[in-house]
Structure 1
């Protein structure tokens, strides 16, 4: 296995773990995650919707665990643009939003370097 392959696996493993962890947090404490990312606690129908999204993130993390760098690259790039849009024009911005944008952008850049 070459140096680039080892580096990509490490980035992918970290990204997969981060997404699965975020998914678990959404399942367990969706309002807390909403407050941290968007600056507002989630209420009403947003709670079960966030939990479903959390389950999906857990699945993405598991599916990408050393298996699909392309899947994680596409996911992370889309999330980068969407949450940046939410922060700039959607009227939501919690303390963790911009660090999340930066982290997803970094992951996207690191994963795309081998394509």
Structure 2
């Protein structure tokens, strides 16, 4: 595997984990303003996407990266709708869409593991 790609993937995963865990601090350090409220929720979705990108690039596993992203973002958006106090008109359709995509991706991943 290309070492540059591996280092980049690790960097994206670490950045994604920081955005998920402490979005306010990451915003403060990067942009000079804390990310709060809706900005923190959006930063967490971006963090989940960065982790998925890192997983996809790590050892060339795009299916696993997309499966990770779609599953975790479906769970996080559902959490926001059920207990996070944030809910727009497209929240639940997005949860359903990502859940369906996660099931399809999981089936493809399991088929590939069985081969």
The TM-score, its normalising length taken from structure 2, stands at 0.51
Alignment of 1:50 with 2:43, yes or no, is yes
Partner residue of 2:9?
16
Give the total of aligned pairs: 61
**For the aligned residues, what is the CA RMSD?**
1.3
Unmatched 5+ stretches in structure 1: 1-5, 69-115
Question: Which residue of 63, 67, 70 corresponds with 2:60?
Answer: 67
1:35 and 1:66 map into 2 onto residues whose CA distance is 32
Dislocated runs of 4+, deviation >3 Å? none
Question: Which residue of 28, 34, 38 corresponds with 1:41?
Answer: 34
Unmatched 5+ stretches in structure 2: 62-115
Give the superposition deviation at 1:44. Answer: 1.7
Question: Which residue of 24, 31, 39 corresponds with 2:24?
Answer: 31
Q: Return the index of the structure with the highest Cα Rg.
A: 2
**Higher relative contact order (Cα pairs below 8 Å, separated by 6+ residues):** 1
